[in-house]
Structure 1
Amino acid sequence: MKKQPERPVLITNAARSQDDQLRSRQIRYVTMMSVRAGCLILGAVLISAKVPLLPLWLALCALGMVLLPWMAVLIANDRPPKSKEERAADRAAREDVQRALGRHDTPEPEFITIDSEVVDDPAEARRRPQ
């Protein structure tokens, strides 16, 4: 019997290298743009073949040709999601910065209230002693 090779043990929780991330984004981008080119070719073939429901198929091809470049750019520029450890480290760093700056709960300031009388008649206000 042939022994199955063991899977390598992960000894670090480091993120993938920037080169690996770039390569995977490039592959996704090229794949999506290839699908877009396929939509263009399929649309041309459908027009010449006179298939049933031609407007529906052409609309789907056109939608693919319009939406896929936009989605490809968004996906290609996106970084991989942060892991729980990265989010926890970011949160701890923000708390450290806040502690270092001394931003603690400060008491509400007391506001001064000035009372005044409302006088309906301006002439009466002039007659009153100040």
Structure 2
Amino acid sequence: MVKKQPERPVLITDAARSQDEQFHSRQVRYVTMMGLRAACLIVGAILISAHPPLLALWLVLCVIGMVTLPWAAVLIANDRPARSKAERAASRAAREKPQPSLAQHTAEEVEYLTIDAEPVEGARWVAPEPEPERKQR
């Protein structure tokens, strides 16, 4: 009896993709989107020379593509990969962890410490002298 090969390889690790793989995929997305921007420019130039019906509408669409695609390409290229289930669960657990708080007491239960000092006759408060500036070497 011949065993059938599985259609997809079995995932044996939960390790994230390497930084190089992530960087490469972001580069590919960026270059693709900027290629679409260049295509919008070329299509706009062809449309101007061909004078098709609804030329203004097509040119507006091309201009919108040329303006919004670089912005979207930068946002998508700088985006980090989605968090895994384990990362989301750890973040949720950290947020839900009860924060320690001080015990609440009523004003009658709290004993206050009052520091009372009488001025001493003849004593005078003197401000400390500033330290001399040190020279930098």
Same-fold call, TM > 0.5? yes
1:13 equivalent to 2:48? Answer no
User: 2:27 aligned with 1:31, yes or no?
Assistant: no
Number of the residue aligned with 2:134? none
Q: Distance in 2 between matches of 1:29 and 1:40?
A: 17
Equivalent in the alignment of 1:61: 62
* Cα shift readout 1:14-44 (whole Å, capped 9, x = no counterpart): 1111111111110000000000000000000
In the superposition, the TM-score normalised over structure 1's length comes to 0.70
Residue 106 of structure 1: aligned partner = 102
- Counterpart in 2 of 1:79? 80
**Structure 1: gaps (5+ residues):** 112-130
Q: 2:3, 2:37 → 1: CA distance?
A: 44
Could you list the structure 1 runs, at least 4 aligned residues long, displaced by more than 3 angstroms after superposition. 2-5, 90-95, 107-111
Measure the CA separation in 1 of the matches of 2:50 and 2:4: 52
1:38 is paired with a residue whose SS is: helix
**Alpha-carbon distance between aligned partners in 2 of 1:41 and 1:110, rounded to the nearest angstrom:** 76
As a proportion of its length, which structure holds more helix? 1
* d(CA) in 2 for partners of 1:91, 1:52: 55
Return 5+ residue gaps in structure 2 as ranges. Answer: 108-137
Amino acid at match of 1:79: R
Displacement of 1:108? 4.8
RMSD: 2.6
TM-score (norm 2): 0.67
1:46–1:22 distance in 2 versus 1, CA, 3 Å: same
| Shift in alpha-carbon separation, 1:39–1:105, aligned structure 2, 3 A | same
Structure 2 distance, partners of 1:60, 1:3, is 54
* 1: CA distance, partners of 2:17 / 2:86: 14
Residue matched to 2:131: none
Give 3-state SS (helix, strand or coil) of 2:102's partner: coil
Q: Identical aligned pairs, as a percentage?
A: 65
